[in-house]
Amino acid sequence: MILRRDSFDATLLDRLARTGERLPHRLRTEITAYGEVAVKPLIKLIGRGGWGEVHAIRLIRELGASRAIGPLIDLLVQAEPDSIAGDETIQALGELGEPVIEPVLQAWAANDDPERLAALGCVLAKTPGRREDVRETLESLLPRHPLLGCALLGEYGDPAALSALSTILDEREIDWQDPAPIGNMVIVEAAEAIRDLGGELTLSQRDKLRAVDAMGAAWRRSISGQPLEARSLPGRNDPCWCGSGQKYKRCHLREDELVPT
């Protein structure tokens, strides 16, 4: 693509602010033709809400502009945890690489809200390298967000987290009262993270995981064929009821929404 050399056309920003869920291909092409010159105008839409903001975040992500790190972090610590803008911001920041790390750690130190810390942790897990301070920050999620903490440590890929993950797995008791996979997903996620990091499960850990897997398999057989309203459905950001380990919104949510009630 040949980048434009003229000043950014402000009418493009107005059109973007008014657009709906679908971003017209022509409008996207006209904006990205400016390259990094488009980033400063796009930043103006951050915090304004609506689909224009979401598209602006996606375009900034496409352009890979580090100058947007500050505004994106500000948005992330203010956005609703379950929002599309929040999810897009996590992805955009995660792809900006190492320059994101220090500003995110600073934002972490300035926050104490569990949901905001979880969002910042999702960004840190996507950053490159194996930094001790990043790993320790992700480990600090384990007491408040054990499921997310295990998943993010597995994603970050630092084997130095094996000790903390093994401790979580050892200390977590099986919830025998809740046969659904959701009730024991911390055990499953901790075990998967240990394996992802090249660790070995102890005999007692393997026995615990087998028991949980057997409970989940029996539960899935028991609900097979049940109408949707008879199931106990999780929240959008909770683990999917099917036991896949993915968030419900990324797994069976859309399928379940299509089932008549």
The tokens describing 261, both together, are: 């009630």
pLDDT of residue 83: 86
Residue 37 forms part of a structural domain? no
Contact (CB, 8 A) for 44 and 51: no
Residue 241 forms part of a structural domain? no
> Percent of the chain at pLDDT above 90?
65
Report d(CA 187, CA 146) in Å as an integer: 10
The total of structural domains in the chain comes to: 1
Q: What is the pLDDT of residues 3-59, one digit of tens each?
A: 788 899 999 999 999 999 999 999 999 999 999 999 999 999 998 999 999 999 999
Residue 246 forms part of a structural domain? no
Higher pLDDT, 49 or 242: 49
- In the predicted structure, residue 261 carries a pLDDT above the cut 70: no
Taking CA atoms, 95 is separated from 77, 99, 118, 175, in Å, by 18, 10, 17, 37
Higher pLDDT, 57 or 240: 57
Residue 195 forms part of a structural domain? yes
pLDDT of residue 69: 95
Q: What is the pLDDT of residues 220-238, one digit of tens each?
A: 777 666 665 655 667 766 7
pLDDT of residue 117: 92
Report d(CA 18, CA 16) in Å as an integer: 5
pLDDT of residue 91: 93
pLDDT of residue 213: 87
Which one, of 97, 84, 33, lies nearest residue 55 by Cα?
Answer: 84
- Start-to-end CA span in the chain (Å): 49
Q: What is the pLDDT of residues 54-100, one digit of tens each?
A: 999 999 999 988 889 999 999 999 888 778 999 999 999 999 999 99
Contact (CB, 8 A) for 141 and 152: yes
Residue 184 forms part of a structural domain? yes
Which structural domain range is residue 209 located in? Answer: 141-227
Residue 156 forms part of a structural domain? yes
Q: What is the pLDDT of residues 86-137, one digit of tens each?
A: 999 999 999 999 999 999 999 999 998 888 999 999 999 999 989 999 999 9
Burial class (CB in 10 A: 0-12, 13-18, 19+), 11: exposed
Q: What is the pLDDT of residues 162-200, one digit of tens each?
A: 999 999 999 999 988 877 667 788 999 999 999 999 999
Residue 160 forms part of a structural domain? yes
DSSP 3-state helix, strand, coil percentages of the chain (rounded to 5)? 65, 0, 35
Residue 200 forms part of a structural domain? yes
Which one, of 97, 42, 95, lies nearest residue 71 by Cα?
Answer: 42
pTM higher than 0.85 for the full model?
A: no
